[in-house]
A and B are shown apart, each in its own frame.
Chain A
Amino acid sequence: MYEYGTRPSTDKELHVSIHSGGQMVSPERFMATVAALKPDLYVSLCDEVTADAKPKRVATSTKRTTAWLESCLRLHGAYQHNTNQQQQQQQQGQQPNQDTSDGPATEEYGTAAQTPHHRAPQAGCCSSNHSNDNSTGTDKGDTSGAVNGETGGGDGDGDGGGGGGGGGGGGGLLGPLSGSLLLAALGGGGLVAERSRAAAAVADMEGVGGYAVCGLGTGEDPALRPALISASLEPLPAAALEHKPVFTPGLSSSPEDILLAVGEGVDLLDCALVAQITAGGYALTFPLRPPPGGPPSAAAENTAMAEVGTGGGGAGGGGVEDVPAVSTSAAAAAAVSVPTSVPAAAAAGGVSSGALCGSSPERGPSPDVSRGADDTKINLWSTSYRADRGPLLPGCGCFACRRHSRAYVHHLLNTHEMLGDVLLEAHNTSHVNAFCQLHPT
Chain B
Amino acid sequence: MRSPASPHARQPPLLLFPPTHTHSSLFPASHSPLLPSPPPPRQVVAVQGRARSSRMTLPHFTAHTPMFMSVGTQGSVKGLTTQQLEELDCHVILGNTYHLQNRPGSELVAEMGGLHDFINWPRGMLTDSGGFQMVSLLHLAEITEQGVTFQSPVDGSTLLLTPEESIAIQNRLGADIIMALDDVVPTTANDPARFEEATHRTTRWIDRCLAAHSRPHEQNLFGIVQGGLDPRLREISMQVGSKRGRSGVGWGGVGWGGESGDDFWRVVSQCTAGLPAGKPRYVMGIGYPLDIVVCSALGADMFDSVYPTRTARFGVTLVPEGTLKLKNSIYARDFRPLDPGCSCMVCQRYSRAYLHNVVTRGAISSAAILVTYHNVAYTQSLTRGMRQAIEEQRFPEWVRNYLKTMFPKGDVPGWVRDAMAAADVSLEGVVAEDLPSPPPSTALAAAAAAATAAAAPSPAPPAEQ
- Seen from chain A, the residues whose Cβ lies within 8 Å of a Cβ on chain B are 19, 105, 107-111, 114-118, 155-156, 158, 386-387, 389, 399, 403-405, 407-408, 411-412, 414-415, 417-419, 421-423
Contact = CB atoms under 8 A, between A and B. Distances in A.
A408 B108 contact: no
Interface string B343-382: 0000111110100000001000100110000000000000
B153 to A, nearest CB: 13
A397 to B, nearest CB: 15
A408 B365 contact: no
B104 A110 contact: no
Contact of A115 (B81, B112, B118, B351): B351
Nearest to A411: B104
B205 to A, nearest CB: 28
Contacts of A411: 74-75, 103-104, 118
Nearest to A107: B333
A218 to B, nearest CB: 26
A221 B38 CA distance: 72
Nearest to B82: A403
B108 A387 contact: yes
A142 to B, nearest CB: 18
Interface of B: 74-76, 78-83, 99, 103-104, 108, 111-112, 118-120, 330, 332-337, 340, 347-351, 353, 361, 365, 368-369
A422 B82 CA distance: 12
Given A403-B82, A408-B118, A419-B80, A115 B335 contact: yes
Contact of B333 (A156, A387, A403): A156
A16 B381 CA distance: 46
Contact of A404 (B111, B120, B353): B120
A407 B119 CA distance: 9
20 contacts: A109-B333, A110-B334, A116-B337, A117-B348, A156-B335, A387-B108, A404-B119, A407-B108, A407-B118, A411-B74, A411-B118, A412-B76, A414-B103, A415-B74, A415-B76, A417-B78, A418-B79, A418-B365, A419-B79, A423-B81
A116 B349 contact: yes
B337 A419 contact: no
A110 to B, nearest CB: 3
Contact of A156 (B76, B119, B353, B369): B353
Contacts of B340: 114
A110 B334 CA distance: 6
Contacts of A115: 335-336, 351
Q: List 9 tightest A-B contacts by C-beta distance, closest first.
A: A110-B335, A418-B79, A415-B74, A109-B334, A110-B336, A419-B76, A417-B76, A108-B333, A411-B104
Given A387-B111, A412-B76, A114 B119 contact: no
Nearest to A407: B112
Nearest to A420: B76
A421 B76 contact: no
Contact of A118 (B80, B119, B349): B349
Contacts of B119: 404, 408
B120 A387 contact: no
A114 B108 contact: no
A403 B120 contact: yes
Given A156-B353, A417-B76, A403 B103 contact: no
A116 B351 contact: yes
A139 B368 CA distance: 32
Nearest to B104: A411
Among A108, A158, A411, A417, find the residue whose CB has the most chain B CB atoms closer than 10 A.
A411
B1 to A, nearest CB: 14
A232 to B, nearest CB: 34
A421 B365 contact: yes
A105 B332 CA distance: 13
A414 B108 CA distance: 14
Contacts of A117: 348-349
B325 to A, nearest CB: 16
Given A118-B349, A155-B333, A407-B108, 18 more contacts: A107-B330, A107-B332, A110-B351, A116-B349, A116-B350, A156-B333, A156-B335, A158-B335, A158-B351, A386-B104, A399-B81, A405-B112, A408-B120, A411-B74, A415-B76, A418-B365, A418-B369, A422-B81
Nearest to B349: A116
Contact of B368 (A107, A415, A418): A418
Contact of A415 (B80, B81, B103): B103
B117 to A, nearest CB: 9
A403 B81 contact: yes
A109 B108 contact: no
Contacts of A419: 76, 78-81
Nearest to B99: A415
Given A116-B348, A116-B351, A387-B108, A417 B74 contact: yes
Nearest to A112: B335
Contacts of B365: 418, 421-422
B347 A116 contact: yes
A106 to B, nearest CB: 10
A372 B361 CA distance: 32
A118 B83 CA distance: 22
A20 to B, nearest CB: 11
A105 B335 CA distance: 13
